[in-house]
Amino acid sequence: MVDWIPLQMMPTGQSARVQHVFGAPDEVRRFGELGLRGGAEIEMVRTGTPCIIRLATREICFRSDDVKVLVQMS
């Protein structure tokens, strides 16, 4: 059984694998260009709105109302 949770429920310092990104097509495409798409490994740097995640060698800051992200915690 796979437990997916919304990104905003991840605690600081936790790692996860992105399962799906939801939102307006242009927003989903833009985040995909940054590497935030299914299968990506991320780490929560700071929770809240906006949140900050680490994705590969960069940090991305965004509001959870921009896109909705489901993750599977590591």
Average pLDDT on 46-51 reads: 91
**Size of the chain in residues:** 74
Residue 27 has a CB neighbour count (10 Å cut-off) of 15
Distance CA 64, CA 66 (A): 5
Distance CA 32, CA 30 (A): 5
Average pLDDT on 11-22 reads: 96
**Domains of the chain, first to last:** 4-73 (2.30.30.90)
**Residue 2 confidence (pLDDT):** 64
**Residue 62 confidence (pLDDT):** 84
Q: Where are the beta strands (DSSP E) in 1-74?
A: 4-6, 15-22, 41-46, 51-55, 58-62, 68-73
